[in-house]
Amino acid sequence: MAHNTKNGTTGGPLAGVKVLDLTIYQNGPSATAMLADYGAEIIKVESKTGDGVRFLAGPNSRSDGLMAFNRGKKSITIDLKHKDAKTVMKKLVEWADVMCENFRPGVLDKLGYPYEVVSKWNPGIILAANSGFGPDGDWATRPSYDAVAQAFSGAAVWNGGGPSHRPRVLPWTFSDEVGAMNFYSSILAALYAREKNNGIGQQVLTSQVGATLNFQRATLQGSIKNKRQRDNGKEPGAAAAHSQQLQLTGDKKWIIISMAQKAQFQRFCNHVINRPDLATNPLYEKFPLIRGSENKQDFINEIGREIAKNTREYWLNLATKNSVPMAPCAT
């Protein structure tokens, strides 16, 4: 929840925005939870059996996902297939600024709430949908969850090391969260557009797969440029391991040293590890580029020998003093 610094009250930039939330599981509820964090009033509509995320923790267990993705919301149970549901839904649509759903395309229409209907009830309504594959194409109506989007978008193969290696899904329900952030920002853009358009709403269509593809855009750009995909089986980021180094300190604790600028590298060599010879070595004169890929591992090993001479706290203090990006790998 944002804090209003003018008068000291808790409110936020979205105070006064009313959201009717029909979303389920994670990629929708996480987006509407962010709206709640910034002050929007959310009424979450659950079916008579409840949001499916309630039951992922098993019987008689509290669902951490339910709590994490539905914080700050009010809730109501409505059987949308019931003959009298439309009477209640019409009142809620008239109340709302935004109506959110993440069903497969066409599901909300079959339930009787297409944009053409809800916009007649409330011309200012923003009807925002976040499906797995988007509204168009052969895959549009197929069911999807996080791992499906990761697989379809190429993220699982990239994370596994390339086409010749076993795909590996990213943790934290990656596509769900990337999709949620895209959904959230699209809703904000629609709210802004409504302010400029005399209060007239619109339909907003987003997808998990589209958001996951967009998240990979720099990697995709490189693959298109090089006409090939990375297929070395190494963990992601291995190519930049010299500029973002994982090192083990003398007290057996891991740190990350991240140096994207030559000036940071020079301060690190001269003032942190006291190795000015590395800063002047012709192989590293264009750091973060290193002359000859075979020299990268030697460089990492050389720094590793220095880092192993002292404790994590010692190195963190020196890095902070000399403005070198470094952090502990916390549990």
Catalytic positions are 176
Is beta strand 244-248 parallel, antiparallel or unpaired with respect to 254-258? Answer: antiparallel
What angle do helix axes 217-226 and 208-215 make, rounded to 10 degrees?
60
**Are the C-beta atoms of 194 and 201 separated by less than 8 Å?**
yes
- Please give the Cα distance from 236 to 228 (Å, whole number): 16
Instruction: Provide the terminal-to-terminal Cα distance of the chain, rounded to the nearest Å.
Output: 26
| E strands, the chain, in order | 18-21, 41-46, 74-77, 98-101, 126-131, 203-207, 244-248, 254-258, 326-328
**Which residue has tokens 């070198």?**
324
**Are the C-beta atoms of 256 and 185 separated by less than 8 Å?**
no
- Please give the Cα distance from 270 to 248 (Å, whole number): 20
Counting beta carbons within 10 angstroms of the beta carbon of residue 204, is it exposed (0 to 12), middle (13 to 18) or buried (19 or more)?
Answer: buried
3-state secondary structure of 268: helix
- Please give the Cα distance from 157 to 250 (Å, whole number): 36
Instruction: Examine residue 288 and say whether the peptide bond preceding it is cis (omega within 30 degrees of 0).
Output: yes
DSSP result, 272-306 = IS--HHHHT-GGGTTTTS-SSTTHHHHHHHHHHHH
